Amino acid sequence: MADSLYLSLWYPNLRLAALPEKLTAVLGAFAAHGGETRVYAATVWPVNWSEAPVFQRIYGQGERGAEPRQAVEEALELLHEDYAYEFQIGWHLWELESGAGLDDRWVREPRLVHVTGFGPLFDEGVYEQDGHIRLDFGSDAPFLEEDADLDAVGAQHVEDNVRRLVELTGAVEKSSGATARLLWSELGESLAQRLAARLGMRN
């Protein structure tokens, strides 16, 4: 069963004024690890997720996107302790494409990762649980493909996706100076345990 996958990052004694620098570093790390160099969209949420955004801009994909620093500067002009700052950036992973009447095939496609920086008072201090910065990778299916019968090629693509995930999580932690990180899922299941079981079943 597919689950949603997240990475939470925490920083010691983080002041709100330092959040733009951290977000820029996290977004900038994607380019070297299978991601886009530019940001697709930025949204600013006040108070909690049920409120309407106070800022939203869609830059576009590829060359139409915004440089991470530019996107962060524009969104964080509205710097408030009870705001959350969400950015979307592309990250390329192998995914199994199935179609009616067609053989399954592996394609490397971009998926949008949501990178969110939390003000300390947003949603009653949700940063304590979710991190000062949270990366939402979406479905964990590309790292497991639990519904597919993996052959050697498929297993190699899944392992490549996992390697990219490991490298990216290490890179965003190091580049942004995080002192704690947690890779977690919505259902609370361990990706590492599920992956070990998945590849163990194949062997």
Domain ranges in the chain?
Answer: 4-202
pTM over 0.85: yes
Starting at the edge strand found earlier in the chain, the sheet holding 102-118 runs 55-58, 35-46, 83-99, 102-118, 133-139, 4-10, 180-185
The larger pLDDT score, comparing residue 98 to residue 172, is at 172
Mean pLDDT across the chain = 91
Please report which confidence band the pLDDT of residue 203 belongs to, taking 50, 70 and 90 as the band edges. very low
- 131-152 pLDDT, tens digit per residue, is 999 999 999 989 988 777 788 8
Please report which confidence band the pLDDT of residue 63 belongs to, taking 50, 70 and 90 as the band edges. confident
